[in-house]
Amino acid sequence: MILVLVEQDGGQPSRSSLEAVTAARRLAVAAGVPLEAVLFGAGASGAAAALGAYGVSSAHVVEHARLDAYAPAAWGRSVAELVKAGSPSIVVAVGSDRGQEVLAYAAAMLDAPMAANCVEVRPGELFEVVRQRWGGSLLEEARLDGPVRLLTIAEHATQLEEAAAPSVVAVAPFTPTLSDADLRVRVVARVAPEAGKVSLADARVVVGGGRGVGGSEAFGELEELAALLHGAVGVSRVVTSAGWRPHSQQVGQTGTRIAPDIYIACGISGAIQHIVGCKAAKAILVINTDREAPIMSRAAYAVIGDLHTVVPAISAEIRRRQAS
């Protein structure tokens, strides 16, 4: 049996969890074993039923009187208990905040290893994985041993694919034995997102600024262009480290991963940590004085020149066409 952790909200499995389910099903089909899921929270039964399309045969819906909010150690304990009860050969989650955290707890509780952000899994006599290092700019081939293998699947690395033959999911409640210690850390409050703001992660257009912008004041030019394109401003790590812009605007390994239709990268050289944050963009337009900047090799389009001249000219051209 292979066990997959599925995150859900209001009865809908998260998209990235379905990536993990897709990856887990391929392993289950190859090994000829059933695929089971574990889910938490209100709406879990509804989300579980929807997993039949992805080949899940049975789902454990965790229910506990004291488990009313996200509690990482308690979720980890629940997964660890399901492992002891059902002896899966592999436990899979998506490499989201919660996926990494819950599997790390389960692995530690089971005294088993865990491999984070895998992009390929090769079960066999020597169980090998290919996993991301440096946020995905480097790959590591590694062996994973132990009575049970726990691994997370890197987000956005698997195309969603439904099962050839959908299954009917047998949904059953599961009540773990939780100690006080398992429940010490839990979400005590949630702060809702700011209304009406274009979020960097979801923006269709991102106008990015790097060292070449030169200072905090000069970002007005990028903001103007972003506003004209109904997009968001993103920045490189140099910019947030210098305090020119807040960290919430950082694109990269230690910031936000973006996936816009176009990323307009202004004065950005393209350190690998920045590239892993923007490589999901459908197209990159580089505005840079340096033809040899590393980011050029990722670009679909380029303008050679000073961003302080080029960016205002683009804004002016957009306005001119809108006025005519």
Partner 1 sequence: MNVLVCVKRVPETGGRVTLTADARDIDTRYLGFTVSPHEECAAEEAVRLIEANGGSSTVLTLGPEAASDQLRAAMAIGIDRAILLETDGQDWDPVATAAAIVAAIQAEAAAGVSYDLLLFGNEAADSGDFQVGIRVALALGLPCISGVKSLEINDGVATARREAGGGWDVFEVPLPAVVAVREGINLPRYPSVPGRLRAKKKEIERIVPTAPAAGLTGPAKIRLRLPAETEGRVEVLGTGAEAAPAVVDVLVRIGILSA
Contacts of 90 (CB under 8 A, 6+ apart): 2, 3, 24, 27, 121, 123, 148, 149, 150, 151
- Residue 153, beta-bridge partner list: 94, 118
CB of 255: closest distance to partner 1 in angstroms? 7
Decide whether 174 or 263 has the Cβ nearer to partner 1. 263
Q: Residue 305 corresponds to which amino acid? A: G
Decide whether 36 or 274 has the Cβ nearer to partner 1. 274
Tokens 């039949």 appear where? Answer: 52
Decide whether 128 or 162 has the Cβ nearer to partner 1. 128
Contacts of 110 (CB under 8 A, 6+ apart): 80, 83, 84, 148, 150
User: How far is CA 151 from each of CA 148, 266, 273, rounded to the nearest angstrom?
Assistant: 10, 37, 23
Going by C-alpha positions, the residue among 232, 231, 275, 270 that lies closest to residue 252 is 275
Q: Which residues of 171-200 are buried (b: 16+ CB within 10 A; e: fewer)?
A: beebebebeeebbeebeeeeeeeeeeeeeb
Decide whether 21 or 303 has the Cβ nearer to partner 1. 303
Contact 94, 20 (CB under 8 A): yes
- Residue 155 is given by DSSP the state T
CB of 54: closest distance to partner 1 in angstroms? 22
CB of 130: closest distance to partner 1 in angstroms? 8
Decide whether 165 or 320 has the Cβ nearer to partner 1. 320
CB of 245: closest distance to partner 1 in angstroms? 11
User: How far is CA 173 from each of CA 38, 41, 85, rounded to the nearest angstrom?
Assistant: 10, 12, 14
CB of 142: closest distance to partner 1 in angstroms? 4
Cα–Cα distance, 93 to 82 (Å, whole number): 14
Decide whether 59 or 219 has the Cβ nearer to partner 1. 219
CB of 234: closest distance to partner 1 in angstroms? 14
CB of 176: closest distance to partner 1 in angstroms? 16
Decide whether 53 or 109 has the Cβ nearer to partner 1. 109
Cα–Cα distance, 268 to 206 (Å, whole number): 13
